[in-house]
Amino acid sequence: LPVGADFTPASYLKTFTLHGVTSNLQFGLPQNYSLRVQGNVDTQKPGTYPVEYRVTYTEKNEIDPAKDQKFTGYSKLYVIVEG
């Protein structure tokens, strides 16, 4: 990215694949998904910045909510701010 550019971490995460089924994340998270993003990118300062993503899908058990299943995927993006 050029110095001063806008950076929205969630916009770089496009899909999540679970058991061979791919869900599109480009227009927001589908129901039963959650996203956690960690990392600080300072686009005012040249450098390399790691951004970590964690996407969790919760498969609801309507009969017994205590038996809900969670599936989590992780990804890392390295953002380079040009200097």
Q: What is the pLDDT of residue 43?
A: 96
Give the model confidence (pLDDT) of 5-44 as tens digits.
999 998 888 888 888 888 888 888 888 999 999 999 999 9
Q: What is the pLDDT of residue 26?
A: 82
The position carrying tokens 């995460």 is: 13
Give the model confidence (pLDDT) of 46-70 as tens digits.
999 999 999 999 999 999 989 999 9
Give the C-alpha separation, 81 to 37, whole Å: 18
Q: What is the pLDDT of residue 28?
A: 83
- pTM to 2 decimal places: 0.81
Structure tokens at 35: 């996203």
